[in-house]
Every structure is written in C-alpha cells, then in structure tokens.
C-alpha cells in the first residue's frame, strides 16, 4: 500500500513539474514607410491567439533575431521571433540556448534568447526586448539636394526638417543615426540615415584627423551621429557646419543687399 502511494505521489510531482509555453514562429520585415515592425500574434502573444505546449518539462524559450540584407543602396532588416519549449529530453541544448543572451552570430545577424520556467512566461513583447537590449533603433532615412538633376529634391528632409513630411522614409539601424550636411556655393545637400556599428561617427571628434569631413558619392559632408530612435531629425549640425551655414546665409543676405 505504501509503495502504491509513493508511485502516485511521484507521478503527481512529475506532472506538476511541466510548464505551459507559447509556441509560434514568424519573420516580419521592417516597414520603411511606417518606421515600425508590424505587431503580430507572435510578437505580443496571448492565450487567445497563439498555440501552446502544455507539457513542457524543460524551459520556455523566446528567441528574437534581426537579419540585415543589402541590395545595392537599399538596406532591409527582418525580425524573426520563435517561442517554444526546450525539453529536458535534450538537456544539452538548454545551457547553449539559455546562457547565450544577446550575441552577434555573424555580420548581419543579431540574436537574443530569454528562458523562463513558469506557465506562459515566454510572452515578453518583442519591441520591449529590442529596446532593453539595445538591439537597434529607428532612424530617418532620406536625402534633400538642391543640386539640379540629382533627383533628391525633398525639402522635408532638408535643414527646414518636417517630421510630418510625406516623402520621409525610415530604417531600422544596428548602429547610430546620422545627419550630414554640405553646401556647394550655397547649394544645400542634406542626408539622414544609419551608420552601421557607428561607422565614421568619430570623424568629427577624431584627435588625429585634419580633414574631419565624411565623403558620400564624391561630396564631403559634415556629419553628426546620435543615439535614440528618430534622433537625426531637425537641424543636427556640427559646429564647423553651423559656421558654414551662417556664412552662407550672410553671403546671400549681402548679395541681396548689394
């Protein structure tokens, strides 16, 4: 009798150790016109819209990956989300998955893994995980040039920046946002976008560089980088370019006065 009670008790303990995990998988591209990843069932799960594994005897997993692809001058980012159960039947997988955290597996891909051990615990909102782990930020991506025939006349992106402009686009940036300005005989040219890994962002304050400008398409720009989503709007100018802008305005004023 005592032996029977023991087996029943042991069975109850085994059953009670199982947890319920959300199970889903998706890939969503960054919308460059809206400036967001679309919210889906898997990115913000609930018991009403996502499948579950009610017999997980391991740990619940949330894995978020960001994959960057470049086609010519077009740069796109796809967000992948996987929610699943890592079962104790494969215990060797649990440390390798759960102890990784956020890592750059290779150029163009960043993964974050979070593990937990209670019912429905792998429900972290994807946008929150991305923000908390600094996996990336949103930048304005546009160009305004007053140079004839360039084909980038977009005043909303210029020095008179308009965040409500209809021609603005966005990029999801795994680096720093930037704004770059140049003047050619008083003609304004402004570019805004993302510098992956902060590339060239140290030029303006570099102690050993005499020429602190950055070259885009054969033109030299004064560039300023910043941290924070949509931080590269407005008149983000370095001190050197501010003096150039002031000199340009004064020259135009004097020309009109004469």
**Domain-located, residue 87:** yes
| CA distance between the termini of the chain | 111
98-107 in b/e form (b: 16+ CB < 10 A) is beeebeeeee
Clarify whether residues 77 and 41 are in a common domain. yes
- 222 vs 212: CA distance, rounded Å: 8
15-48 in b/e form (b: 16+ CB < 10 A) is eeebbbbbbbeeebebebeebebeebebbbbeee
- 46 vs 42: CA distance, rounded Å: 9
Residue ranges making up the domain that contains 145:
138-257
**Domain-located, residue 55:** yes
Which pLDDT value is given to residue 6? 40
Tokens of 24: 């889903």
**φ and ψ of 200, to 5 deg:** 70, 5
**Domain-located, residue 35:** yes
Clarify whether residues 143 and 244 are in a common domain. yes
Residue in the structure block whose two tokens are 């929150």: 128
Clarify whether residues 144 and 192 are in a common domain. yes
**Domain-located, residue 223:** yes
- Beta bridge pairs of residue 141: 169
Which pLDDT value is given to residue 31? 94
Q: What is the pTM of this model?
A: 0.76
**Domain-located, residue 206:** yes
Query: How many domains would you assign to the chain?
Result: 2
- 212 vs 220: CA distance, rounded Å: 9
**Which strand ranges, in their side-by-side order, compose the sheet holding 59-71?**
36-37, 24-31, 74-86, 59-71, 109-116, 102-106
Residue 124 · residue 21 · CB < 8 Å: no
**φ and ψ of 136, to 5 deg:** 165, 175
Clarify whether residues 119 and 162 are in a common domain. no
Tokens of 147: 């140079």
Clarify whether residues 90 and 142 are in a common domain. no
- 62 vs 114: CA distance, rounded Å: 5
- 117 vs 52: CA distance, rounded Å: 14
Clarify whether residues 248 and 143 are in a common domain. yes
Predicted confidence pLDDT, tens digits, the chain (258 residues):
454 444 444 444 444 478 999 999 999 999 999 999 998 999 999 999 999 999 998 899 999 999 887 665 556 899 999 999 987 655 555 656 676 667 765 556 778 888 999 999 999 999 999 988 888 999 999 999 998 887 889 999 999 999 998 889 999 998 999 999 999 888 899 999 999 888 888 877 777 777 778 888 788 899 999 999 999 997 655 444 444 444 443 344 334 444
Tokens of 31: 């919308």
Which pLDDT value is given to residue 125? 92
Whats the size of the chain, residue-wise?
258
Clarify whether residues 25 and 116 are in a common domain. yes
Kindly give, in sequence order, each residue whose CB lies less than 8 Å from that of residue 257, ignoring residues fewer than 6 positions away.
Answer: none
Which pLDDT value is given to residue 91? 57
- 174 vs 77: CA distance, rounded Å: 9
């Amino acid at each position: 009798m005592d032996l029977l009670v023991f087996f029943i008790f042991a069975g109850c303990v085994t059953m009670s150790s199982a947890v319920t995990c959300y199970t889903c998988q998706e890939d969503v591209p960054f919308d460059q016109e809206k400036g967001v990843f679309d919210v889906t069932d898997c990115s913000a799960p609930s018991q009403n819209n996502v499948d579950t594994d009610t017999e997980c005897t391991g740990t619940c997993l949330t894995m978020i990956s960001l994959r960057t692809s470049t086609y010519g001058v077009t740069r796109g980012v796809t967000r992948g989300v996987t929610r699943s159960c890592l079962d104790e039947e494969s215990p060797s997988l649990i440390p390798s998955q759960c102890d990784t955290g956020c890592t750059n597996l290779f150029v163009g891909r960043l993964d974050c893994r979070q593990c937990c051990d209670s019912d429905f615990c792998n429900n972290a909102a994807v946008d929150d995980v991305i923000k908390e782990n600094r996996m990336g930020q949103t930048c304005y991506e546009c160009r305004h040039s007053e140079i004839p025939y360039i084909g980038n006349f977009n005043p909303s992106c210029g020095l008179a920046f308009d965040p409500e402009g209809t021609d603005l686009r966005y990029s999801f940036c795994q680096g720093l946002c930037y704004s770059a300005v140049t003047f050619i005989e008083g003609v304004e040219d402004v570019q805004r976008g993302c510098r992956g890994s902060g590339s060239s962002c140290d030029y303006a304050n570099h102690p050993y560089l005499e020429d602190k400008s950055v070259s885009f398409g054969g033109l030299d720009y004064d560039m300023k980088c910043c941290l924070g989503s949509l931080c590269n709007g407005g008149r983000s100018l370095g001190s050197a370019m501010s003096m150039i802008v002031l000199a340009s305005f004064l020259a135009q004023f004097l020309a009109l006065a004469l």
